[in-house]
């Protein structure tokens, strides 16, 4: 058997006596590498063993189907190394001599690009010869598993992740051959295990290098041709940072660099050729040109090696909360989120029950880029799942889509894992974890929303004789609650949660904020709205639209202003979809005021019914005529109970789309089979029985006894203009823009008393001498317009 050794002869040329200190341990730049090399030969007395019957089949499964991502091999090897270190540390409590040979507890990763090898070594407990045979020749005969069984009474205090065997076999995802050198404190011999990919046997022999490890295990992978990328510092550092960032033991990656340094031999040759000596005397009046005969300095390339720590110092979520400062939490947030801003809030908690886990979740201050564009489809979980500080996956949807902006970690001590560490055995366990974390996130947001920030807005106020607060003339503007600033950015996500999360819908609704007809542009909660409702009011009134100014001036609002009823402004496109799922809040149903069957529920309702019945009877000829005249343009015509200043308005039927919803539906560019008649169905024309236009129309319409009345063109234009105006007042678009244009032209013709719309003859052209000169440029200055100012120019030039 042969091993590869990393060439380090060039290191001696660049002062290898310097030390690098990492995490409290001092390590010298290497002059000797303990990794297995191709130049060292194992003792010829090697023994050959056959794999257990199932191993060959398992190897085939591992390489071809078990792991979906080859990168995980390094995660598995580091996890096993961490387990071995934990064993050594635990056993050293009772037997400190275990750490005598090697006191450092660490993982080191090195590589050789030329030889295409990768080595992962640890200072863990190591393995004896018998353990090598059992652990690496038999599936699921894990040293960790046996160790846990042996320490069953105190195993809860030992941090291990199971199944060494199968995780080790993931090495063959990237390697044609694997060798394992290992030294156990109870075994005086350092052994080497070796096997090629695809073979049904392995060999074990004594390491010819002797005891180079002191204690621990060193795994060398002879990489496949398509896996050369793993023999590169940047790639290894990225993988360690991604999967094993919070392993509690330091992980060092060996960095190999080629540097240019001055060639000392060439400098000596130049000095000898020039005849220079160190003790040459130069007189005061003699000048020496040092650059006259000096040759360009020759440089040479040397290879240097250094160890760089690739994982974080500690998993913050494992530390006691009392020992963690706010600055610590913020720094950790920036570490896991790669966000330059501080987090808005966070929650650090332990969950106990059927499944135990620790979690640390953050609410960011700024919205992620994909959510700014409303792109929920590109959702990627920002809460990562760890098992004993080893990243299992960042693809588990621990939180629902609407909370995709939440950053954090979940770490469990006892999550059951499948052999590939990528899929949990029971998906319902993930659901349990997700529900608990989701509930905790909503509690954090609720706490943030309810925090009292009034003290920050109140300095010591002056009180007059009557006990009233004297407002200073130059009083600073009152600062809004920090939650409102956050809410304006993240509101669509919370509203999506109201739509999708049936379990937490009522919790989410309490986090929403709205503007209303009485809030003066300020945000308020639904709880505040309900507390200000009239005694007789049974519904939460709302009006959808695009902006606050338009909805506040809508004719639909007039009756509500008159009755002093508060109306919620729904200004986001998602609001109407959300209300369809929400239905009610605190027992009060939501009611859109643009529907034709709106009710107020006040004490005058009975009187209004009798008055309306009289109007219906009076205007029945007009409503009957208009129903025939407009045909399918409206579903029906009715006498309105609520109109004030406008003669008519178009409202939506009970099951029809509001004007705002029609606009949203039409904006869905990828809608298939969209029928405009279906989009604009269920429209009601409400006429105002008290408006003089409607009173006049009642006298102008033909007798209702005539089935086919001859309607004058002028009356037709008035009727269609009435409908178009009613559509616009209701927030709808007019039905036929071309007909509207022609109709308005005819009405203007009559208004201006114009006999014909034929164009007039073209005007006679002017004579050439009467045509004024064109101005200089587009709006440029014409110097002739300013007269003679040469004298002024001469004066300024002289100055």
Q: What is the pLDDT of residues 743-756, one digit of tens each?
A: 889 888 888 888 88
pLDDT confidence of residue 776? 60
Q: Please say whether the beta carbons of 591 and 542 come within 8 A.
A: yes
* pLDDT > 50? residue 16: no
pLDDT confidence of residue 265? 61
Report pLDDT digits (tens) over 393-445.
766 778 898 998 999 999 987 775 544 445 554 567 788 888 999 999 999 99
pLDDT confidence of residue 527? 95
Going by pLDDT thresholds of 50, 70 and 90, the confidence category of residue 206 is very high
Helix axis angle for 482-500 and 427-450, nearest 10°, is 150
Query: For the chain, how are helix, strand and coil distributed in percent, rounded to 5?
Result: 40, 20, 45
* Domains and their CATH numbers in the chain: 44-252 (3.30.565.10), 316-450 (3.30.230.80), 514-592 (3.40.50.11260), 605-751 (1.20.120.790)
* 302 CB-near residues (< 8 Å, 6+ apart): 10, 13, 14, 258, 259, 260, 261
pLDDT confidence of residue 109? 94
Report pLDDT digits (tens) over 17-59.
232 333 333 333 333 344 444 444 344 478 888 877 666 666 6
Q: What is the DSSP-derived secondary structure letter of residue 444?
A: H
Going by pLDDT thresholds of 50, 70 and 90, the confidence category of residue 452 is confident
- What average pLDDT does the segment 215-236 reach? 92
Average pLDDT, rounded, for the chain: 78
As a whole number of angstroms, the distance between CA 88 and CA 82 comes to 10
- What average pLDDT does the segment 511-529 reach? 95
Report pLDDT digits (tens) over 643-686.
889 999 999 988 888 888 888 887 775 555 555 655 666 899 99
As a whole number of angstroms, the distance between CA 388 and CA 367 comes to 30
Distance from the Cα of residue 570 to its chain's centroid? 26
Sign of the dihedral through C-alpha 739, 741, 746, 750: positive
Q: Please say whether the beta carbons of 567 and 542 come within 8 A.
A: yes
- What average pLDDT does the segment 293-315 reach? 74
Sign of the dihedral through C-alpha 76, 134, 124, 204: negative
As a whole number of angstroms, the distance between CA 345 and CA 565 comes to 37
Q: Give the residues across from 348 on adjacent strands.
A: 360
- What average pLDDT does the segment 573-585 reach? 91
């Amino acid at each position: 058997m042969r091993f590869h050794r990393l060439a380090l002869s060039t290191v001696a040329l660049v002062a290898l006596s310097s030390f690098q200190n990492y995490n409290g341990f001092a390590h010298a730049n290497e002059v000797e590498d303990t990794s297995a090399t191709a130049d060292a030969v194992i003792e010829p007395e090697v023994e050959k063993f056959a794999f257990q019957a199932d191993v060959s089949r398992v190897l085939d499964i591992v390489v071809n189907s078990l792991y979906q991502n080859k990168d995980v091999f390094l995660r598995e090897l580091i996890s096993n190394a961490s387990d071995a270190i934990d064993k050594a540390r635990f056993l050293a409590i009772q037997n400190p001599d275990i750490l005598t040979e090697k006191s450092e507890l660490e993982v080191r990763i090195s590589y050789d690009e030329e030889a295409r090898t990768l080595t992962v070594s640890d200072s863990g407990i190591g393995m004896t010869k018998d353990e090598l045979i059992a652990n690496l020749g038999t599936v699921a005969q894990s040293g960790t598993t046996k160790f846990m069984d042996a320490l069953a009474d105190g195993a809860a205090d030992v941090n291990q992740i199971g199944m060494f065997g199968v995780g080790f076999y993931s090495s063959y995802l990237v390697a044609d051959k694997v060798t394992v050198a290992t030294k156990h404190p109870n075994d005086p011999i350092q052994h080497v295990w070796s096997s090629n990919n695809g073979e049904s046997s392995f060999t074990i022999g004594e390491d010819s290098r002797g005891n180079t490890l002191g204690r621990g295990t060193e795994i060398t992978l002879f990489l496949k041709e398509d896996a050369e990328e793993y023999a590169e510092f940047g790639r290894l550092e990225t993988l360690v940072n991604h999967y094993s960032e919070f392993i509690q033991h330091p992980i060092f990656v060996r960095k190999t660099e080629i540097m240019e340094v001055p060639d000392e031999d060439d400098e000596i040759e130049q000095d000898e050729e020039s005849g220079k000596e160190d003790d040459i005397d130069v007189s005061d009046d003699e000048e020496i040109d040092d650059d006259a005969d000096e040759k360009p300095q020759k440089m040479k390339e040397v290879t240097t090696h250094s160890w760089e720590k690739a994982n974080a110092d500690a998993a913050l979520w494992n530390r006691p909360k009392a020992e963690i400062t706010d600055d610590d939490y913020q720094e950790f947030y920036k570490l896991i989120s790669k966000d330059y801003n501080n987090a808005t809030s966070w929650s650090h908690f332990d969950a106990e029950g059927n499944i135990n886990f620790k979690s640390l979740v953050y609410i960011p201050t700024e919205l992620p880029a994909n959510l700014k564009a409303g792109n929920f489809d590109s959702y990627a979980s920002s809460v990562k799942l760890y098992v004993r500080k080893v990243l299992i996956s960042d693809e588990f949807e621990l939180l629902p889509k609407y909370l995709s902006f939440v950053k954090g970690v979940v770490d469990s001590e006892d999550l059951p894992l499948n052999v590939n560490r990528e899929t949990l055995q029971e998906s319902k366990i993930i659901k349990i974890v997700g529900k608990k974390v989701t509930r905790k996130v909503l509690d954090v947001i609720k706490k943030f929303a309810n925090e009292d920030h009034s003290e920050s807005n109140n300095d010591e106020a002056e009180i007059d004789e009557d006990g009233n607060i004297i407002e200073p003339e130059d009083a600073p503007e009152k600062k809004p609650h920090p939650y409102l600033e956050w809410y304006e950015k993240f509101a669509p996500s919370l509203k999506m949660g109201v739509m999708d999360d049936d379990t937490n819908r009522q919790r989410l609704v309490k986090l929403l904020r709205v503007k209303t007809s009485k809030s003066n542009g300020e945000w308020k909660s639904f709880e505040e709205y309900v507390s200000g409702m009239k005694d007789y009011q049974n519904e939460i009134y709302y009006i959808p639209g695009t902006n606050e100014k338009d909805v506040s001036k809508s004719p639909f609002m007039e009756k509500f202003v008159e009755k002093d009823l508060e109306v919620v402004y729904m200004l986001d496109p998602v609001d109407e979809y959300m209300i369809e799922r929400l239905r009610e809040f605190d027992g009060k149903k939501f009611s859109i005021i643009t529907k034709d069957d709106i009710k107020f529920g006040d004490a005058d309702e009975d009187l209004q019914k009798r008055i309306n019945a009289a109007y219906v009877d009076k205007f029945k000829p007009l409503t009957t005529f208009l129903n025939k005249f407009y045909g399918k343009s409206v579903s029906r015509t009715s006498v309105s109970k609520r109109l004030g200043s406008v003669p008519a308005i178009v409202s939506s039927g009970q099951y029809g789309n509001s004007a705002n919803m029609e606009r949203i539906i039409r904006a869905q560019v990828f809608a298939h089979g969209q029928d405009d008649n279906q989009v604009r169905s269920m429209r009601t024309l409400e006429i105002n029985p008290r408006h003089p236009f409607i009173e006049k129309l009642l006298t102008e319409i033909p007798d209702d006894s005539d089935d086919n009345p001859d309607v004058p063109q002028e009356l037709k234009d008035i009727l269609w203009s009435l409908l178009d105006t009613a559509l616009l007042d209701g927030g709808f678009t007019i039905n036929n823009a071309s007909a509207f244009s022609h109709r308005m032209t005819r009405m203007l013709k009559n208004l201006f008393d114009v006999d014909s719309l034929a164009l007039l003859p073209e005007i006679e052209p002017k004579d050439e001498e009467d045509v004024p000169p064109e101005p200089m440029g587009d709006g440029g200055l014409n110097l002739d317009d300013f007269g003679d100012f040469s004298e002024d120019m001469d004066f300024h030039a002289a100055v």
